[in-house]
Structure 1
């Protein structure tokens, strides 16, 4: 069927254009707009009997109501993928911005992906080492998992994302079969420069596919960016049998773009002005993580979002928590203490951790050490609250030891340099080292055999 071209728009509203009297137009269909030699791409976001609503990726500024030509291309938005994408940097809709050539050899893939049959999903097992003790030791990332980072304005989530990108690796035979897809949405130019320069300095960029949607890029492009990144990840994972870690930052900017689009379309708003379909929209992104039977590769996700006003009940973190398998929460209190990364242990968890650690995966003592560190640090918070009321001098000797453990836990276990890459064995050894501030009688979550093998009392406990 020949492609139809329409001349003239009925309305322009922000990033949206409205075209009347259209025929055979499909939802998500790609549109080419032409005005005075200027070409732009758009995507159909709403269709009625004779009206199509199109979001324009490069924005609608400069378009003319009467003379703009609109051509419906009869296909959805696609990107070209091949192994050539490794080490490259693209914009939010998959066009190269690193000065290199376009992808020559490759195949086109729909950015919306293909739904995975739930019956063919495999249960995630093996872990991914990030080199960060708080994550590897206490909320271990498992291949095929989606584990978000809940941050706040001013907290170092971009620094943490870059460190994970530089350090993440697989253990054992599959260590060379690993890639990272890094997608940034609505970030500032200096943040983008920081990210790219760190990748280049560390040499990690050879293993990374980067998608950048900057703050001054069209907000509508942000709607496509995570889907473009996940399409590249799915190709590497399920066509090239690689294990791919996808880092998406900042999902809050994505949701703001979705709210802006929803408002322009005149939709009835839901909580805090976000569209009522925010949950299902986020699910179309997060649920693209996983492992499939018969395929060797996997897609693992770390979405990062900054919680407005540090409110964990805000719709974005709230809905994200329902869809994903745990969360890593950054703590403003730890950040004020100078702890980096400031990961708040108590509100954080990894729901798939239990099945990917221990003997044959990390180390036999890992589940028990992790549980003991959680329990002891939880007790530290109770004692700190008590000390603030009655004074530290009135505490018992064992309570004072817990306080010393808490300080050592934050200073030695949680805190590490932004270029410090710890193995899982080093992480567990540091865990045992800080537990040395407590007497063996307090270590109720570990076995006597593990105490004999790993425990060593610190001077203060003797």
Structure 2
């Protein structure tokens, strides 16, 4: 995983949490990969976080438990941490250090790439313009995911965000083009890990999936490494091998808490809610690795999943994520309480690049208009429902009552879906039409007349 060892040091000044402070170093650089040999002969690995004159601060991937200052040797490789990349990862499961966790042999790749990655030249970026279909109707119709986009899922404790992430990872497609999914799990329980592996077993057996799983009892440093390993493997599959790759990362709040813990161990000055001041740039260094590159056929799309502590969307992690990404899919506790899966709040959710990836030649010609009209109708339905709570249903107009019917139809016939139900886009759009046609034609002003003539029989207006 690293280059040849060049220099070895024995001057360990301090062990502090997951950190080792080595003195007397020379020529050591930031982000350099290190091998740590204990006096028992055990080998551990680390990354250089900071260099100050002859001191180097190394974060130990396996933690510092059982280490002594004396007898510990630290060897620096002279290069950043690297991982083998290539199609050999497809169908494999790795841990948070990039080592096989499925009992199989080491992954051999034609080349090794630095885990930190390299930024994409903005001049070479191509705008996203084709959809990634997830098989989840609420996502595909109302917040369409576009190739090269970064679209987070905002959730809260107790909501089925992991189930939704696994379902999307299991069902996502790119219209028959070469496709792969890289799933990075951070801070998962062992039950969650088993659920992820079982839910994605079929895609893994088809060699369309790479899994990196970090559990809650693994060293916290690995949690920072897991998404970087996943993105490095995904970048090679996308930009070197021409696949369309979807990277699902869950849970980014667990990742951010790990970053806060390491920052505290380093003695850094805390910022908002004790998170480090560089949380924004650190998250951006992950999210901005997606996209499309001019002259290369592949694409890299990111779906980060995060939980909002106490459902607070102004919490630093969702707040900063919202600044970096292009929309959000918001899960609602109210919808979940009604027994509906997936509990998506359509009015709080948004895909800013949806118009780039929908319409004739991409999804269906009526898709953009249907999605816009459905969102507008749901917004009006919510207003009517609030009005009904104040003055009672008996005081509502016939049109207002139709909007309440639409709200019920949306929750009964469009939104509900099984956790293993792969719903086609045509089926989802047809359901959207069915919901919309609970309204009179006069309330569907965002739909072109030719579409209404096709989908709304005239006799419906006669009965109104």
| Shared fold, TM over 0.5 | yes
Spell out, residue by residue over 1:289-324, the C-alpha distance to the aligned partner (whole angstroms, 9 max, x if none). Answer: 000001100000000000111111111001100110
> Please, which of 134, 145, 150 is the counterpart of residue 141 of structure 1?
145
Q: Distance in 2 between matches of 1:63 and 1:402?
A: 66
1:247 aligns to what SS in structure 2? strand
Equivalent of 1:82, from 86, 108, 123?
A: 86
Match 2:8 to one of 2, 5, 10: 5
> Which of 29, 40, 51 in structure 2 is aligned with 1:26?
29
Number of the residue aligned with 1:64: 68
Q: CA deviation at 1:461?
A: 6.4
Separation (CA, whole Å) in 1 of partners of 2:460 and 2:62: 61
Q: How does 1:34-49 map to 2 (within 5 A)?
A: 34-35=37-38, 36-49=40-53
Partner of 2:346: 345
Task: Give 5+ residue unaligned stretches, structure 1.
Answer: none
Q: What aligned pairs does 1:173-212 form with structure 2 within 5 A after superposition?
A: 175-201=176-202, 206-212=207-213
Determine the C-alpha separation between the residues in 2 that align with 1:201 and 1:357: 29
Are the counterparts in 2 of residues 165 and 204 from structure 1 also a CA contact under 8 Å?
A: no
Contact 1:238 1:297 in 2 (8 A): yes
Which residue of structure 2 aligns with residue 421 of structure 1? 422
Counterpart Cα distance in 1 of 2:5 and 2:98: 27
**Aligned pair in 2 of structure 1 residues 405, 32: CA closer, same or farther (>3 Å)?**
same
User: How many Å separate the matches in 2 of 1:164 and 1:152?
Assistant: 18
Task: Give, in whole Å, the separation in 2 of the partners of 1:2 and 1:234.
Answer: 27
SS of the equivalent of 2:339 reads coil
Q: Deviations over 1:11-64 (max 9, x none)?
A: 111101111111111000111111111110011001100111000000000000
Distance apart, 1:422 and its partner CA: 1.4
- Superposition deviation, residue 104 in structure 1: 3.0
Alpha-carbon contact 1:326-1:349 (below 8 Å) kept: yes
Q: Which runs of 5+ in 2 are unaligned?
A: none
Q: CA RMSD in A?
A: 1.6
Change (3 A) 1:224 1:413: same
Of residues 13, 20, 44 in structure 2, which corresponds to 1:17?
20
Whole-Å separation in 1 of the counterparts to 2:404 and 2:85 = 53
1:150 maps to which residue?
A: 154
Q: Structure 2 matches for 1:237-256, cutoff 5 A?
A: 237-256=238-257
- When structure 1 is superposed on structure 2, of 418-427 and 370-379 the one drifting more is 418-427
Give TM-score scaled by structure 2 length.
0.96
Which secondary structure does the structure 1 equivalent of 2:207 belong to? Answer: helix
Q: How many residue pairs get matched?
A: 459
CA shift, 1:202, in A, is: 6.3
Query: Which residue of structure 2 aligns with residue 440 of structure 1?
Result: 441
Counterpart CA distance in 1 for 2:191 and 2:197 is 10
Residues of 1 paired with 2:289 and 2:109: CA distance? 25
